[in-house]
């Protein structure tokens, strides 16, 4: 075993050690970057969903307003129609 360890060049072991140190040093930054990307993605999805819900709510409220106005107008027409019918029947 000592012969195998002696057969490895010192430059190779130094290179592997430097790469391992580099990876260990970069790990916290990579983890923080992944966390920030996930958080920003979740927040943008939440903003998009809120915008979509607000738009759908506005469409529903506008439809309800139109239906209410139509109901009010049709009541007037029904009263006029009934009055006209009575005038014609008596006429």
Greater confidence (44 vs 6) lies with 44
**DSSP H helices in 1-91:** 2-7, 10-90
Q: Is the model's pLDDT at 44 over the cut of 90?
A: yes
Domain region containing 75: 2-90
Greater confidence (85 vs 41) lies with 41
* C-alpha torsion 24→30→35→39, nearest 10: 170
CA distance 68 to 53: 22
pTM: 0.53
Total domains, the chain: 1
CB hemisphere CA count around 72 (13 angstroms): 5
């Amino acid at each position: 075993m000592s012969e195998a360890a002696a057969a490895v060049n010192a430059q190779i072991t130094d290179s592997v050690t430097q790469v391992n140190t580099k990876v260990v040093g970069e790990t916290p930054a990579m983890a923080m970057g992944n966390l920030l990307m996930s958080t920003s993605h979740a927040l943008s999805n939440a903003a998009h969903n809120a915008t979509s819900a607000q738009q759908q709510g506005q469409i529903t409220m506008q439809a309800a307003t139109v239906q209410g106005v139509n109901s009010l107008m049709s009541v007037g027409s029904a009263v006029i129609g009934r009055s006209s019918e009575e005038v014609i029947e008596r006429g």
